[in-house]
Structure 1
Amino acid sequence: MRETPAPAVPSVPVGVASEAGVASEAGVASEAGVAEQPADENLWLEDIHGDDAMAWVRERNARTDAALVNPAYTALEASVLEVLDSRDRIPMVSKRGDWYYNFWRDEANPRGLWRRTTWDSYLSDSPDWQVLLDVDALSAAEDAQWLWAGASVLRPAPGGEYRQAMVALSPDGGDAVAYREFDLATLTFVEGGFDLPTAKTRLSWLDADTLYVGTDTGEGSMTESSYPAAARVLRRGESLADLAAKEPLFAVPPDHLSGGVSHDSTPGFERDVAYDVLDFFNSRSYLRVDGNWVHIDVPDDMNVSLHRKWLLLRPRTDWHLGDAVYDAGTLLAIELEAFLAGSRALRTIFAPTPAQSLQSWSWTKDFLLLNLLEDVSSKILVLDPAQDFAATELDACPPLHSVDAFAVDDEDDDAGNDYWLVASGFLTPTTVCRGTLATGTPGGPAAVVREAPSFFDAADYTVEQHFALSLDGTRIPYFQVGRKDLVLDGGNPTVLSGYGGFEVSRTPAYSGTVGRTWLERRAVVDGIERGGVYVVATIRGGGEYGPSWHTAALTENRHKAYEDFAAVAGELAARGVASPAHLGCVGGSNGGLLVGNMLTQYPKLFGAVSCGVPLLDMRRYTKLSAGASWIAEYGDPEVPEQWEFIKTFSPYHLLRPGVAYPPTFIWTATSDDRVGPVQARKMAARMESMGIGGLWFHEALEGGHAGAGNNAQAARLHTASHEFLWRALTGTL
């Protein structure tokens, strides 16, 4: 919601499998209370930066480059980079005081510029940007490879100007970052200011001389999921050693996901809030009252949001409170002081329907904006708290588009009820508008501020929404983008994309890069010249229909997400869009696990698979990078009963000799400290040892979980994935 996350092993000669082989049934027998340990001949590849492992990576990168790069590919990649570097892209901004801030990358500034401008200048064709920090220049001056990771700006005293910021810089694109204090007046890092070394740090400004900090200060300071387990008070002039010596202001057990403290500096509503994140979907919030932490007494799976006097609650599962039952995905409101005093007179300000769900919300000075999805198309409501949260629909959402409304700056005296409206569709470049909400006419028109250019000719294409029936009869929506004159004979090269996890919604969005690398491409297939078809499946595990859509595919029900995706693939074949030989699938991260299961469980449905930054070894995922933080999503493989269902969707253990697998491209990044490169490496190595052909592997050396630290790397990754799929699905691999 807008209101608001191994011991060294013996090396094995490169390319040589151990005698343990690939059969997942072989391995260490389970002890009492401990799940079996399947044989794993590729543990040596878990030494991420080890010489042998990196030699293995470089050899396969070279093989992929040799197969991939030719003049046509180079030209296609250059066209993608042209899109990513275009100076006509919309510079999205956030308002702080009188300034509008933006971070920008282009050909001349591959690592990027942090900059700001005034509103009048932003409205012009060529805004006058004041550069605050040139990350390329900083990297050159310090002989480092810094990548921008954001900034936390201190709210000034009333009447003052924003001046202090904690700038986050990543050395490799991973989640671990260094923080440095930056002066927005002098445009320099503060000499002797706050300076925290690279770690998975969480911090919050208390005042100009004090931070709340959770970071790696040694043993016990981080959770088993690799995130901060405690928050301490860091005062100006104190060192990391001083911080480590202090008693925590707030701490959580090491088997919880993370814990910390943030300071709400809203004038008149200043307060400290502590959070204990038990797992990805359960947490506890605490208010500091007279030096004590007071629990906001709601179920752990409740989304808790504080704004001025209001407490908003959104349950992830049905909430039984006295005689009342609040459905999952309902939004409830109550004044915070009344709740703390014992009142439970909650107001239902949004109730979901089978077709409609709440995705996010944002407060302006006097109104509350709700961003909804109705059958995966956007709808926006404006609620007026002064009128008992009376709702009015904002008439700004065309069908099969994604539209998001959020406040510009709810504390601005003049613009407190202004809102941004950002709209996009598969064939509609992003438009940014700005409007003003007013009592009595909250849905007034918004004026266009910026329109992104079109990077491909959309006139010959159409967007359709269809529904496939999953194995249990559930209707699964999917979007199809293709030519208006599409021949439904099964011969169209089609890529099917999905995610299906963590309550993440896949919504319509414009992509000039997809237009150039897929929709506009042409190939003669079965005697007919055709273009590409792009399909997005909105399967269970996501959030398109609210939290119940997500929980339907958790842990032992994970197979439902895969059945949904397979149903869409089958429907595309049945409708004549693409036969299996011409249908590919692509997914990254949890989506990589999704397509890994398509590869191993549904190989006959696809002609090619592109699998990025993936989870694949579900027996050891909790021991790799940040994997322990996802136990609530997938289950705990250390528990025998849970391993029994987890192994049914662990692609690394589902590979079988003699199966005809489709061509597969596995890609990852060395510096990914979230999922990590290990699982991709091991999957590729096992497939190689089984003699599975048509395998490509690529590992970017920086870029973190995104696999790319700049536009050139992003262009390479995107183009390589689509080039592989295109060749495979058109018979030219």
Structure 2
Amino acid sequence: MRLGRWILTCAASALVMAGAAAHAETQTGGAQKDTSFLNDIHGKQALDWVRAQNRHTTSTLEKDKRYEGFYKSTLAVLQAPDRLAVPQLLAGGIWNFWQDAQHPHGIWRTASEQSYLSTTPAWQIKLDIDALAAKDHANWVFKGADCLAPADEKCLVILSNGGEDADTLREYNTRTGEFVPNGFTFSRSKQQEAWVDENTVLLAREWDDKGASLTPSGYPFIVKKMVRGAAPGQEKEVYRGAPSDMMVAPMTLTDGDGGKLVLIQRSQTFFESHYAVVEGDTLRWLKLPAKSEIHGLLKGRLVLSVQEDWQPEGMPLVPAGSLVSVDPKNTERGVEVIFTPDPSQSIDQVGVTKNTVLVSLFDNVRGRAMRFTAVQPGRPWSGQVLDLPDMASIHIVDTDKQSDKAFLSVESYLEPEQLWLLGEDGQPHKVKSAPARFKSANLQTEQFWAQSPDGTRIPYFVVHKRNMKLNGANPTLLTAYGGFQVSYTPTYAPEIGKLWLERGGVYVVANIRGGGEFGPQWHEAGRKSGRQKVYDDFAAVGQDLVARKITSTAHLGIRGRSNGGLLAGAEMVQHPDLWNAVIIGVPLLDMENFETMSAGASWADEYGSMSVPKEADFLKKISPLHHLKADVTYPTPFIFTATSDDRVGPVHARRFAAKLDAFKKPFFYYEDIEGGHSGTVNAPEVAHERALEAVYLSHRLMDKQH
């Protein structure tokens, strides 16, 4: 199931919002200026406004003599031919999606495992997205493929036009390397699919063009069975959720012994789901905690994590954050706890092989990995700590359900990504490593702790030159996320290295509440009306940086995207004197109306709802758009978004910029006309936006006039 690619940084919908009239006018003193046209996302007047703002931003920042160098160095890194080719275990080989200067849309290619592990893999191109885009006259973005296990011969290739979340599905044969003639094809929609067998697919999507089969979040709630060769309109309904749900979707799980479960996931809210096993024409609902996530199937048993305390019938309490194994035939009997993190730990990812369960986790925000094996049913699981580098992020790249092999990745702020292969037994070994993209010999990473106003200690990483002087003059960029139980961990970012660290900048990542760095409780503390703690945590880190004399307010800037963009916007209005640069990317900013904008209804479980008086009062207190004031001096922000972002949508950013404009406050605004929620869809566009940011940060934090 592909829900994760929609919800990692909020959920999505599209088109003009129901609450468009909420801010049809921007007030400046006693005058009012009509800005309602900005709500028409693709309207001519709105796009004329966007292009005018883009011209102002690019004409100003591209004039800087450093811009061209920033752009070229970033593009070179993004298109470097010696990048690490991320492996996918599929159809008996290694598959990889690759973009470079010759293939900006990308190619899907394959090699044998032996060839892949060599220094020069013999790749075979299976699908050329550039050629397909040219043939279809579409700006296709490849978003992966859902393949029928275990042979992985029949796949549904997922294509998005311009990077939006809505996609088109086309049946593809990995053996022939061709789209299947008269095969399954599902037109553009926000949709979720699951293979039942080679002739049957369960599909949740918009079944009409009037929105009647979509939830207020813009997601489907009706699942139908699609049978090969059946006439249109003959689809049989499998399950119909409620229009008030966030989403309903099918999913298929397989194990290495030939076992299979077809499930329906009914997500009533962002964090609460119920699961049913599809048994012929009937559904059998499983007794599982509402806050739980299924990760796979092992020996016919479900592997899932629980995000709330769970008391199975006649069993000991299972603490929130635990990983468990259950029998899908009776989920409350014989629950086996695989692993329960201690207070300093939290689970990041879970992968299932034929006989084992892999876990990547954080221990005080430092990456770890373990492999668990069931000794025998009903007995405690055996856990093995994997020997991997410290002060790094460890991720599960892919697992093989037909064996116990798996690929893991390791990276840190200063060490480029490494690929480690875990075999049938023993410890993993490094098989590939990306080359360094920036000079790091004179750089180091430290972890510090700040104290939030309520006494909670907040960890943060600082990457800086070894000989850094504590004189308050170091240009510093601080970032965080703080939401949706998403953890912000060490990542090797070549553009940060080239455009910031090499030039004397300090890079800081704060692990504030709202994320998942310390498990469900860390997230819960910053959810809904607790969100002010998230903003207090971030400000506390900024103040701690100043107190340590690492930097000063004149040299301190912040950056955030999506939910992090909301964070940056809130910090700009709550602490305008603490920062001298603010980058606000693909943000939420209108928190009084977010539920009627794009897929805002799906985020109410994270932020609260205007329909609940107590939560409405809080949202009014923290909405960045509504707390901009004409008589306050703000740092000049750099705001970026994308027209085709059908997840958060560009209107939040447009309204914020329009209000700044009405108050005659300076700002930079850049909206990529084609990009989705990622902001940009190919390497040249990414390099362009990053170069603009680098010039902006140089002006605000490095140059003498600031």
Structure-2 change in CA distance of 1:548 and 1:207 (3 Å) = same
Partner of 1:36: none
Name the CA distance, whole Å, in 1 between partners of 2:110 and 2:637: 44
Q: Corresponding residue for 1:263?
A: 252
> Is 1:533 the counterpart of 2:506 in the alignment?
yes
Does the aligned pair in 2 maintain the 1:371–1:379 contact within 8 Å?
Answer: yes
Cα distance, 1:541 vs. partner?
Answer: 0.4
Report whether the alignment pairs 1:554 with 2:527.
Answer: yes
Structure 2 partner of 1:428: 415
Structure 1 residue 227 displacement after superposition: 1.1
Q: Say whether 1:99 aligns with 2:81.
A: no
Cα offset for 1:112? 0.4
Q: CA deviation at 1:228?
A: 1.2
Shift of the alpha carbon at 1:182? 1.5
Q: Check whether the contact 1:363–1:406 (CA below 8 A) recurs between aligned residues.
A: no
Distance 1:313 1:507, change over 3 A: same
Q: Measure the CA separation in 1 of the matches of 2:278 and 2:295.
A: 15
Q: Contact (CA 8 Å) 2:589, 2:652: kept in 1 or not?
A: yes
Partners of 2:562 and 2:586 within 8 A in 1: yes
Provide the C-alpha distance between the structure 1 equivalents of 2:686 and 2:28, rounded to a whole number of angstroms.
33
Are residue 314 (structure 1) and residue 308 (structure 2) matched? no
Change (3 A) 1:89 1:11: closer
1:252 has 2:234 as partner: no
Question: Distance in 1 between the 2:463 and 2:449 partners?
Answer: 14
The corresponding residue for 2:375 is 386
- Matched position secondary structure for 2:188: strand
Question: Shift of residue 468 of structure 1?
Answer: 0.3
Q: How many Å apart are 1:637 and its aligned residue?
A: 1.8
Question: Does 2:676 align with 1:704?
Answer: yes
Q: 2:137 corresponds to which residue?
A: 143
Q: Quote the residue 1:441 is aligned against.
A: none
Change (3 A) 1:197 1:338: closer
2:183 to 171, 180, 193: 193
User: Conserved in 1, the CA contact under 8 Å of 2:26 and 2:662?
Assistant: no
Structure 1 unaligned runs (5+)?
28-38, 439-443, 522-530
Instruction: Tell me: CA distance 1:576–1:386, structure 2 relative to 1, closer, same or farther (3 Å).
Output: same
The Cα offsets for residues 313-360 of structure 1, whole Å up to 9 and x where unpaired, read as 433223345684332212233333343xx52x4333222222111222
Write the mapping of 1:160-239 to structure 2, written as runs, cut at 5 A. Answer: 161-218=151-208, 219=210, 220-238=212-230
Aligned residue for 1:474? 456
1:46 aligned onto 2:39: yes
1:326 aligns with 2:318: yes
Q: Does the alignment pair 1:67 with 2:60?
A: yes
Q: In 2, distance between residues paired with 1:637 and 1:652?
A: 15
2:10 match? none
> Is the 1:9–1:44 contact (alpha carbons within 8 Å) kept by the matching residues of 2?
no
Give 1:139 deviation, angstroms. Answer: 1.4
Q: CA deviation at 1:290?
A: 5.5
Q: Which residue of 1 aligns with 2:608?
A: 635
Corresponding residue SS for 1:326: coil
C-alpha distance 379-40 of structure 1, shift in aligned 2 (>3 A): farther
Alpha-carbon distance change, 3 to 424 in structure 1, aligned in 2, over 3 angstroms: farther
Structure 1 residue 155 corresponds to structure 2 residue 149:
yes
TM normalised by structure 2 equals: 0.93
- Is 2:446 the partner of 1:446? no
Measure, in 2, the Cα distance between the counterparts of 1:269 and 1:488. 60
Equivalent residue, structure 2, for 1:545: 518
1:513 maps onto 2:530 in alignment: no
Shift of 1:165: 1.5
Q: Give the secondary-structure state (helix, strand or coil) at the position aligned to 1:445.
A: coil
The alignment status of 1:460 with 2:445, answered yes or no, reads: no
* CA deviation map 1:262-295 (0-9, x unaligned): 2334454223211100111001011124532111
| 1:22/1:41 contact within 8 Å kept | no
Q: Secondary structure at the match of 2:417?
A: strand
**Residue 410 in 1 paired to residue 401 in 2?**
yes
- 1:365 lines up with 2:354 in the alignment: yes
Once the 2 structures are TM-superposed, how far is the Cα of residue 721 of structure 1 from its aligned partner? 1.9
* Number of residue pairs aligned between Structure 1 and Structure 2: 687
The residue identity in structure 1 corresponding to 2:233 is: D
**Residues 1:247 and 1:98: Cα distance change in structure 2 (over 3 Å):** closer
Whole-angstrom distance in 2 between the partners of 1:11 and 1:625:
10
- The answer as to whether partners of 1:364 and 1:410 remain within 8 angstroms in 2 is yes
Q: Distance in 1 between matches of 2:166 and 2:24?
A: 34
Moved more, 367-376 or 321-330: 321-330
Root-mean-square deviation over aligned CA pairs: 2.5
Matched, 1:396 2:387: yes
Instruction: State the shift of 1:126 in Å.
Output: 1.9
Q: Displacement of 1:368 after TM fit?
A: 1.6
**C-alpha distance in 2 between matches for 1:166 and 1:208:** 11
For 1:21, which of 22, 27, 33 is the aligned residue?
Answer: 27
Q: Which residue of 2 aligns with 1:84?
A: 78
What SS class does the counterpart of residue 336 from structure 1 fall into? coil
Between 609-618 and 128-137, the greater mean CA deviation after superposition: 128-137
CA distance in 2, matches of 1:377, 1:696: 36
Q: Is the 8 A contact 1:591 1:614 kept in 2?
A: yes
Contact 1:9 1:43 survives alignment (8 Å): no
**Secondary structure at the residue paired with 2:645?**
coil
- Superposed CA deviations along residues 174-195 of structure 1, whole A, max 9, x for unmatched, are 1001111122233222222111
Cα gap change, 1:407/1:3 in structure 2, threshold over 3 Å: closer, same or farther? farther
Shift of 1:88: 0.7
Q: Is the 8 A contact 1:361 1:406 kept in 2?
A: no
Q: In 2, are the aligned partners of 1:273 and 1:288 still within 8 Å (CA)?
A: yes
Instruction: Write out per-residue CA displacement over residues 96-142 of structure 1, whole angstroms, 9 at most, x where no aligned residue.
Output: 23221110001111110011111121122221111111111111122
Offset of 1:11 from its aligned partner?
12
The 1-side partners of 2:632 and 2:3 are apart by: 49
2:588 counterpart letter in structure 1: L
The answer to whether the Cα contact below 8 Å between 2:295 and 2:350 also exists between their aligned partners in 1 is no
Q: Could you tell me whether the CA contact under 8 Å between 2:555 and 2:701 is conserved in 1?
A: yes
**Given the superposition, is the C-alpha separation of residues 379 and 185 from structure 1 closer, same or farther in structure 2, using an over 3 Å criterion?**
closer
User: Quick check: 1:367–1:437 contact (8 Å CA) kept in 2?
Assistant: no
Residues 223 and 255, structure 1, Cα contact 8 Å, conserved in 2: yes
1:337 partner SS: coil
Query: Which residue of 533, 536, 543 maps to 1:563?
Result: 536
- CA pair 44-520 structure 1, distance change in 2 beyond 3 A: same
The secondary structure found in structure 2 opposite 1:63 is helix
- Counterpart of 1:581 in structure 2 is 554
Alpha-carbon separation, structure 2, partners of 1:669 and 1:454: 31
Partner of 1:667: 640
Q: Distance in 1 between matches of 2:24 and 2:401?
A: 61
Are the structure 2 counterparts of residues 122 and 65 from structure 1 closer, same or farther at C-alpha, using a change threshold of 3 Å? same
Rounded Cα–Cα distance in structure 1 between residues aligned with 2:230 and 2:48:
43
Query: Cα distance 1:278–1:22, how it changes in 2: closer, same or farther (>3 A)?
Result: farther
Q: Which amino acid aligns with 2:192?
A: R
Aligned 8 A contact 1:608 1:725 in 2:
yes
* SS of alignment partner, residue 303 of structure 2: strand
Q: 1:395 to 1:297 in 2, by over 3 A?
A: closer
Identity over the aligned pairs, expressed in percent? 36
| Aligned with residue 618 of structure 2, among 641, 645, 650 | 645
Provide the rounded CA distance (Å) in 2 between the counterparts of 1:93 and 1:398.
20
2:484 partner letter: F
Structure 1, 398-407 or 505-514: larger mean CA deviation: 398-407
Q: What is the alpha-carbon distance in structure 2 between the residues aligned to residue 44 and residue 382 of structure 1?
A: 55
Change (3 A) 1:594 1:452: same
